[in-house]
Chain A
């Protein structure tokens, strides 16, 4: 009798989790449309639908198809990617505060972009959604490419250092902080010698801004993020085993070092790609996984898709908010997520019941 009740409860839990994922997916779709219809040009919903069907005025069609859709897609893809990357880093390092910024990935990207803009005058600048006000350097992707190269270099450096220490999670975080501050110092030196124009361009780049997204960058991000999510989903049970601690997971037959290396690498590449195209959008990888784990538990079969969807939701909301507050030109979305992130950070610190080791 008891067994049947427990059986039913387990099925009920699974249905609840599936329903939560469906609801989150629906919320992403609804918010995507809201985001599409809100903007500084004050188009009515009817205008937006007309423009969406390419039946509106040329300007309105251009706003929807050339500005808003790439931006909405970027919010969905980058939100999902950054959130899942945070979740995976937290599982790998057994630390709820682990995120791309903890590991210095973002700092390295900032240095790469600064180097490109200040030293090589490369760049791809845009201020919000104002189409006329941007400059293109010799190669529009030069800055993104440099940001990507340096964040990847930083990741490889950390992973290499940690192989020497057999991947103790604490060591990874410390190595990340140390390497992150080296990049920050190097960025400061670069900025000290920069011209006024170079400096302002470099600073503007670091503001996380979805307005830079194009269909091409969205496609690149989508390929990387979807491949990553697919890989993580395949590894769900092995990641669940890792929640039991390194020793227990190894005794269950999981190749812990390989699992940690591969998932960290994937999570870092996702971050590097998103940051290099959009700038720094912090805390998505802390806020969303934290809420999802609280509400739906840590089972990676659920937390991976749910974190991804909630990341999309957060960026769509933050972007809509940033465009509503900006009075004509959108505030950087990275500033909004950082404002939201700090209270979560504090909530995690004060909400921790106790430390436990990961290996």
Chain B
């Protein structure tokens, strides 16, 4: 379980606070979706959780252990990252995923690391790509490889920054179903950010509405209401129910 308490962060000593007292709790196997405008602090929050940035104050605990005091390799075995913009070197898919194991082997990959990679590739039906150069793959495939690389860390939780940002609709569905499968089958918690409310409603268990560096509203599907969206995004939407599913439709925006 991830537990964030009163987290504050700013980029420079005299810069304004980007995270201004964030509290957030996410259980194992749960999918949490952070919703907020551009610049509301979502990516900064994720980078603090992952140890990429260091907070000014507050605590981040995982199963009671302080993530801020943990060794880098230890933290990498608990929380893994699928960044918003994905970069790879000119390596084979197999070696790219194997890179995710670096917190386990340090300097030289062993047989058990290679076996773990084969297991993950098999599990994600990526075996037939194993020997291919990762730079030659399509956007959706690369995103899957990035998930596989993160899973190679055998984490308890995945942080997934705008997973559908640059993908076409088929790849969007592929990645979202993959994320759901990982959470359900492996009991891995997922914390993600999405811009599309309908994708968020389809994927998420818990929702965190973020504005000006604070979580303003938090809860299950019930929390996603027209009023909350208006307050956070300053945008008009309508929420309708079709076949028992909540659908958010654009209400024409601010007039």
A-to-B contact residues, CB < 8 Å: 2-3, 6-7, 9-10, 12-13, 234-238, 240-241, 243-248, 250-255, 293, 297-299, 356-357
Answer whether A356 and B87 are a contact pair too, CB < 8 Å, given A247-B81, A253-B75.
yes
Query: Helix, strand, loop or mixed for chain A's interface?
Result: helix
Question: Is the CB of B59 closer than 8 A to any CB of chain A?
Answer: no
Across-interface contacts of B131 in A (CB, < 8 A): 6, 9-10, 12-13
A6 touches B127 (CB 8 A): yes
**Interface-centre pick from A3, A236, A237, A299 (highest chain B CB count, 10 A):** A237
Across-interface contacts of A244 in B (CB, < 8 A): 86-89, 96, 99, 149
Q: Which of B105-113, B176-184, B221-229, B244-252 contacts A (4 or more CB under 8 A)?
A: B105-113
Q: Which of B46-54, B192-200, B210-218, B231-239 contacts A (4 or more CB under 8 A)?
A: B46-54
Question: Is the CB of B122 closer than 8 A to any CB of chain A?
Answer: yes
Query: Helix, strand, loop or mixed for chain B's interface?
Result: mixed
A240 and B88 CA atoms in complex are apart in Å by: 9
Answer whether A241 and B81 are a contact pair too, CB < 8 Å, given A250-B51, A293-B90.
no
B102 touches A13 (CB 8 A): no
Shortest Cβ distance from residue B216 to the other chain A in the assembled complex, whole angstroms? 26
A241 touches B87 (CB 8 A): no
A340 and B149 CA atoms in complex are apart in Å by: 39
B130 touches A10 (CB 8 A): yes
A6 and B96 CA atoms in complex are apart in Å by: 15
Across-interface contacts of A6 in B (CB, < 8 A): 94, 127-131
Question: Is the CB of B103 closer than 8 A to any CB of chain A?
Answer: yes
Closest 9 CB pairs of A and B: A243-B89, A253-B76, A253-B103, A9-B131, A251-B81, A6-B130, A298-B89, A253-B73, A298-B90
Across-interface contacts of B105 in A (CB, < 8 A): 237
A356 and B133 CA atoms in complex are apart in Å by: 18
B47, B81, B91, B102: the one within 8 Å of A298 (CB): B91
Across-interface contacts of B79 in A (CB, < 8 A): 251
A250, A297, A298, A356: the one within 8 Å of B85 (CB): A356
A45 and B37 CA atoms in complex are apart in Å by: 76
Answer whether A10 and B102 are a contact pair too, CB < 8 Å, given A243-B87, A253-B76.
no
Of all chain B residues, which has the CB nearest A11? B131
A244 and B80 CA atoms in complex are apart in Å by: 13
Shortest Cβ distance from residue A39 to the other chain B in the assembled complex, whole angstroms? 40
Q: Which B residues between 59 and 89 are near A, CB-CB below 8 angstroms?
A: 71-77, 79-81, 83, 85-89
Across-interface contacts of A252 in B (CB, < 8 A): 76, 80, 99-100, 102-103, 153
B89 touches A240 (CB 8 A): yes
Shortest Cβ distance from residue A279 to the other chain B in the assembled complex, whole angstroms? 33
